[in-house]
Structures are given as C-alpha cells and as structure tokens.
Structure 1
Amino acid sequence: MHFCSLPIFGLLSLLLPLTKALAPTHLVYEFPNGTWIENLAVRSCGSVLLTIITSPDLYLINPLSHSPKPVHLHHFDSALWLVGITETTPDTFHLVAANGTFATPAPAPGSNRIYTVAFPPNSDTPRISLAATLPEAQLLNGLTTLDSTTILAADSQKGVVWAINIITSRSRIVLNDPLMAPGPLLPTLGINGLKLRGSTLYFTNSAQALLAKIEINPDGTAAGKAIVVARSPTGANFDDFALDWRGDAFLATGPGNSIEEVGSDGEPQVIIAGIVNSTEIAEPTSAQFGRTAADREVLYVTTGGGLAAPVDGDEIVGGQLVAVDTDGLWRV
C-alpha cells in the first residue's frame, strides 16, 4: 500500500498537544457528500466493516485491494441508523441499530436493537439476525466485547454501560459513574467509545472531553471508581478510539479533524495525524488497527466528513475511510 506524507502546517501550532512529525495518511475511500461513517470493525482477513449513521446500512471494504470499493452488505429496514460494532467470536460481530437520525440524535424510545452479523467460513456474505432489544436504553453507542456471550454498550444519553447477553437477550446496567455522564453542552453524548484491555475498561466521554478508565469485574460491574487518563486540551469532543499493543489510545477528535495519541498513563498526549483546518481526516469518528501482516501498524479511521462541524467553518466532504501509517511513528 502506498502512503504519502503530509507537511505540518503553521496552524497546527494553534493546536495542543503537538508532535514534531505527522504519520503518513492515505485515503482508502470517500463516500458521497452527506454520508457519515460512524464506526468500523476489522475482520481477521483484513476487510473492514463500516456502519453508517446517515442511513441504516452496513458496508464491507478491503483496504488492501488495488482499488478499494465498498460492498453493500445489508440495509436494516427496522432502523434509521447504525452505530457501534464489535467482534464477539471469530468473524461474528454485533452492532447497534436504532431509530435515530443525524438531525435528532436521540433515538426513538424502545428502538435500540443489537444484531448479529455472522460470516460463514470463506464467505463475505453474512447471516444477520436480531440478538436483543433494549427498550429502556436511550442512546446506545460504542460497543466492546466482555466475553463470547456478553457485550458492553455505552449509553451516551443515560451515561451508563449496559451488559447484554447475546445468547439470552437479557441486558442490565452494570456501570454508572459521574465520568460517564453527559453535560449541558452535549446532553445526549456522554460516554461514547469503549475498549476493554484485560480487566480495565477504557472509555471516552464526548461531553466532558476526556478519556477515562475503570477496573471491572468478570461480569462487567465496577471493581473501583473511574479515573481520568487524559482530557482534551482543546476541548475537542473525543469520539471512539483504538488501543495499540502498548496500551496507548488513538482517539478520534471529531471537530479537531485529527487523531490524538495518549499514552496508557496519560503521557505523551500528541496529535499524530490530521489537522484542524484540513479535510485530510474530516471529523473522525472511530479507529481500529489492521489485523494482517501487511497492515498491523496501520490505523484505519472513519469520518463524518464535517457534517456536524464543517472543516474550516464551511467545507463538507463525504464520509471517509482513512489509513494512518503508524509504523516508525516518532513519539515524544
């Protein structure tokens, strides 16, 4: 795969944190204007699943092909958007569908559903089925896998985490911490992205502009209080994120139009790709590392194209899948 380096523009000096070099990026694919890609999951074979928030559609794209093109996998007739997605067992994924819209981000009461997307061996055509409904949830967003039968779901509006058994369809609130709550400026976007590393659950809160972590028990309940790992120095609304093998977090900064790396202990805190007034990474929403020998150091990033916060005040592009080459990235 070919990557092209980008220069550091003078306006980057207005953004903190800083880095002396930006990672090379490559546009894998850009959807038509008006498309917001909300989340992604990378299959072990290297192809990427994309959920769309501006329509209830699931796409598959192979970023390692010569000319990547998205393949439409499924339209969810009972929903208006798709958000979080997580792999539960090899090549079996679960995602959130609900009756929310980009203009009115609080879904209709009772519309949150979890669907199973299961790929048979050597197939790109998944079997899709309903796994659970959550009538009491408000705005399910980020997902992560607790174990082979249970996923954890961030409820951005309630400011809690649900545990959902994908076999029995039963669900319950397992985490409720002040660092998960929404705020007055973003009343529907508190806790957002979730990632589990061992017994430590990392999460972002868009309203509070922070990355935090909390120790949890095997059933998903709290083993302590949540603590702040890092706060956004610019006030950018942290969205979803990826964790690398070191435990560093790579956060989508939303209107910051960049990817910010935060060490496992909160340091360093540096921008490694993108720039606030560029459409290179236009309003990033989520990130995940590649899984093949060819792209393990590549961070795949989805974007909203500036729909919620136009780039440089007035520029909107289509939702993007961007590859960020972190191999050899210089870290301060």
Structure 2
Amino acid sequence: MRVWETVGLLALSLGLTHGATTCGPSYPLPLRMVYQFSKPTYLQCLYVRSNGDMLMGTVFPNASIYYLTGATTPTPHVSVIHTFAGIPSTDVINGVTGIVETEPNLFTFTGGIQQSLGLQVNGTWGVWQLDMRTNSTSLREIQHIPNSGLLSAIVALPQNPTVVLVADTSLGQILRVDTHAPAKWEVVLADWATMHYPPWASLQFGVNGLTIRGEYLYWTNSFVATIYRVRITEDGYAAPGARPEEVTWVRSLFVDGLVFGPEGNGDQTLWAATNADNRVLAISGEGKVTTVAGAPDEMTAAGVVAPRFGRLAGDEHTLYVASSGGIVLPVNGTEFEGGKVVAIDTRPWAACQ
C-alpha cells in the first residue's frame, strides 16, 4: 500500500496532466567538477545568486562562508568571506548550515556550535545575517534561539523573502523568523510523526532540507528517508486545517537537502541529495525515484548534501550540488575527499518529462 499511496499523492498533488513516458535518458546524467576544496572540508550549504555567483557554508573543520564566481567557466574563483574563530572566543560558532538571500545583497544564515561533527550543543544556535550591500562586508547574529537544537536548514518565503522558515532538526520543529523583527521568532510547525528523528538514529537528525513550491512547504526527515509536505500560507504558517502528509519514501540510508527545478516549464521533479548514500536523486511527478548521479560505492557525489539550480539565463538546467566529501561515512569504508561543487546537466531528464 505504501508505494501506491505515495505515488498517487505525489501525482495528484502536483497537478500532473501528462501520462507516463517511454523516453529514457541514460544515467548518470552528464556532470562536471566546478570546484573542489582541500581535504577535509565539509560543505553543508549552497546558495546560487541571480548573477550566477555562489555562497557556501561549512561545518568542518570550521565554520566558514565562501564565495565562488565563474561557476560556468573553466576557471572559477573561490574566496573566503569569513571564517569564524570558534571556541573559545566571542566569534564562537563552528558550523554554518543554511543560507538564503532575503534582500538584495543581504543574506540570512543559520549557525551554532557542535561538540563534534553533527552533534549539536543545544541553545548555541541562532539566525545570522551577512551584509554585502557595501564593500565592507559584515556579519552579525540577528536572533539567538535559546534552547534550540541544531538549526539545519533555512528557506525564504517566496512572497515575503524577509521572512524565513528554519528547521530545528534535533527538536523536530520548524521556526518562523521575520528578519525585520527577529525577536518575534516562533515555532510554527512541530509534528512528532513527520519531523522527529527515529529512536534508532545515530545522530539527532529529523526534519532537514526545506523547499517551497506553490502553496506547500516540503521537507526531508533524514534518517527516515522520507519527504513530507504541508500546505502553508503566504506568511509561513500552516494553512487552516492543513496536516503534514507523506510525499514519498526513498530507499536510502539518509536524505538531506532537496529542491524543485525552475518554475514555469511544467516539470515538477524533486531533486534530493542523500549524503551518506552518495547519490543525487530525481523524483518524478509520478513518484518514480531515479539515481541520476553517484552511487554508494563511488566518489562522484560523496556525501552530497545541498542541491541548487543555476539562475543565469541559459544555466537554469544546471543542478549544482555541494558535498561533504564523505567525511562522516567514508566511501567503501576508507575513502573521503575535500568537499566539492559539481554541476549536473538535467536537460536529458527534462526532455523526458
């Protein structure tokens, strides 16, 4: 029953009007390396700007924010915007987990302290702002979230991007923060069944990657390897009477970040990163899950965590994915590398949808 129920839900909820296709692109999809960091570097988040530049945050060996230009060229350039000093200092965070642009050249990100990689110190996490509106870049914590767990992901509301939703993965809840009035932050969703980590999980990772499409907020529950959604208002609250519902289950050790492709072309594919399973997945509107890059025993997408689409004209078909390099769970038990950004050409997939 599970397969038919989730497939039916996905097809109906996305409003699909086309039938199954016999088109069959070959896999893996074409890909290329954009940039690889030194070993060990764990990239945790990726944001693609409208000009094609990228921001990336790390959780190991420190908390840094990097800036990449020239992603579509053979010679991209990476610079360090900021490296946090870590403990003990006033610049204490050692993990940057998610980043979005909430106003032109003003970015909001989540960060806090880990005892070790993936093991948070509760109450040390907050919402920060990176101001790049002038030549003098600045950072500040705009709202500390007391008693929080690990804030693992962030998404801006499409109709009101100065308001963000934040996943507290270890407490199994989603917060709403208005960056213009951050002191009024609040818990807007807390559903044990779909957001809390399972009792057998090795780390406290429940609700994780966030994305919004239409009236729905989607999230992964990482160790359950399941994607859920709930209908929300334009202001980021659960719609009246709305309840979380399962979209699809994935046969994987873990599911991390996820994203939809560009709107307007009718393609409702969800793209997901499996982190410990070293794969990038395409989940069709009919609910079919396809591995489009990587494999459990390959380094191609080792520890892939964050998928984001290009935004430059002519580059909207490119899925950029950031990886951890397999640091937490080495490939084949021993192999890991520096985190990297890989570009995947999704046109063969789109041609079949």
| Map 1:1-332 → 2, pairs under 5 A | 20-54=26-60, 55-62=62-69, 63-76=71-84, 77-103=91-117, 105-120=118-133, 126-146=137-157, 147-169=160-182, 170-177=184-191, 178-186=193-201, 187-223=203-239, 224-233=242-251, 235-244=252-261, 245=263, 246-264=267-285, 267-329=287-349, 331=352
Q: Provide TM-score, normalisation by structure 1.
A: 0.88
Task: Please give the per-residue CA displacement for 1:133-164, whole angstroms capped at 9, x wherever unaligned.
Answer: 10121111110012233110001011110001
Q: Gaps spanning 5+ residues in structure 2: where?
A: 1-23, 85-90
Instruction: Work out the CA distance in 2 between the residues paired with 1:276 and 1:293.
Output: 33
Distance in 2 (alpha carbons) for counterparts of 1:92 and 1:262: 32
Secondary structure of residue in 2 paired with 1:278? coil
Partner of 1:15: none
Does the aligned pair in 2 maintain the 1:19–1:271 contact within 8 Å?
Answer: no
Cα distance in 2, alignment partners of residues 240 and 102 from structure 1: 21
CA distance in 2 between counterparts of 1:293 and 1:215 reads 31
Q: Distance in 1 between matches of 2:126 and 2:73?
A: 33
Deviations 1:77-101 (A, max 9, x none): 2211110112212332210110115
Alpha carbons 2:36, 2:339 under 8 Å: kept: yes
Helix, strand or coil for the counterpart of 2:120?
A: coil
- Which stretch of the first structure deviates more once superposed, 106-115 or 270-279? 106-115
User: Contact 2:122–2:150 (CA<8 Å) still a contact in 1?
Assistant: no
Moved >4 Å (runs of 4+): none
CA contact (8 A) 2:223 2:253 kept: no
Work out the CA distance in 2 between the residues paired with 1:315 and 1:132: 39
Structure 2 CA distance for aligned equivalents of residues 60 and 185 of structure 1: 37
Aligned-partner SS, 2:77: coil
One-letter amino acid of the structure 1 residue matched with residue 283 of structure 2: V
Is the CA contact (8 Å cut-off) linking 1:80 and 1:101 kept in structure 2?
no
Number of aligned residues: 310
Amino acid at match of 1:74: H
CA displacement 1:23-61 (0-9 Å, x = unmatched): 111111111112100010011110110000111100011
Corresponding residue number in structure 2 for 1:13: none
Q: Percent sequence identity over matched residues?
A: 26
Q: Secondary structure at the match of 1:115?
A: strand
Gaps of 5+ in 1: 1-17
Task: Write the distance in 1 (CA, Å) between the matches of 2:29 and 2:148.
Answer: 39
